[in-house]
Amino acid sequence: MATASDVNQLDGTDRELERILTSFDSCYVWNYGSVKQGLRDLYEKAKREQWNATTQLDWSISVDPEGEIIPQGINPLQDYAPFRKLDERERRRFRHAQISLQLSQFLHGEQGAMIVASELVGAVPWLEAKYYASTQTMDEARHVEVFDRYLRDKLEWEWPINRSLKELLDATIQDSRWDFKYLGMQILIEGLAMAAFGNLYQFAQEPLLKDLLHYVMRDESRHVAFGVISLDGYYADMSASELRDREDFIVYACELMRNRLVGDDIARAFGWNAAEVREIFLSSPISQQFRSSLFKRVVPNLKRLGLLTPRVREGFEKLDILKFEDADPALQDRELGLA
């Protein structure tokens, strides 16, 4: 029989949960000899590259959460009058806020990826894809683990999920079509994440975070490849009306992700004028370069899948990201030491 304390504990847990309704077809694959070219090799690579965050990362490294984990020279608000008025203690708090906010969004995105990967195990129509989606579910669980541990043990500050990121995760998780789950997660969210991880990895000055990011990026590179291999050729004979749904989703998702990086969360935390901060983020060369560079993997992969249609091109021209259509994701991996 449940005691009052048991009920209170359950109520507390329940307040930390959010339930959303999902509906999609799950399928058995009875032809165990079926082959989706490239997925078996990717599955073998995933098995070889499994890692244990508890033993392979040095959690004994001391981290100053208010130190220069990333150089302050890349702060787009460094010339903003309210920022210049901050004293040293407040500037240390700003540094703490900046890095904890970014890693918190990584954490929340990885939980969304874990949920989508688990859905793909049931939804995808090839056995090798079920194999790989199973390994990705484990990868994403490990990524949630490491970002959560770094935020709790080292930074001691976790932010709630950004509303735009939450909107895209919900749209991907709740859509009933399996290819939308690939598009939303493997191609768009994972592609954006890879670019964001790569940027942070190149700037980060804290050794534990650099090691953590390198392990995570190695997994994420495979996850993007999983989407590209699985969807290769899928859209070639799709009807115009069905294809239009995909075009709408791609442009919507990219607009949503690009427009979320405008400093709203930081402005609220420091009591600054949100409109002023947004204007600085939109006009800052540092911020513009970062927001644009996030798409250097997404655009060429969409082109490979035949989804860089005239309609999508028009949307990407407005976002100023069409310039990445001939970028080479494999070269980007090599530059980060992942290939």
Give the per-residue pLDDT at 15.
63
160 DSSP 8-state letter: P
Look at the block and give the residue holding tokens 């990026």: 217
At 17, list the tokens: 């949960």
Q: What's the length of the chain?
A: 339
Nearest to 161 by CA among 123, 182, 136, 189: 189
pLDDT of 13 strictly over 60: no
Write down the pTM of the prediction.
0.92
CATH superfamily of 38-45+66-335: Ribonucleotide Reductase, subunit A (1.10.620.20)
pLDDT of 337 strictly over 90: no
pLDDT of 212 strictly over 60: yes
Give the per-residue pLDDT at 226.
97
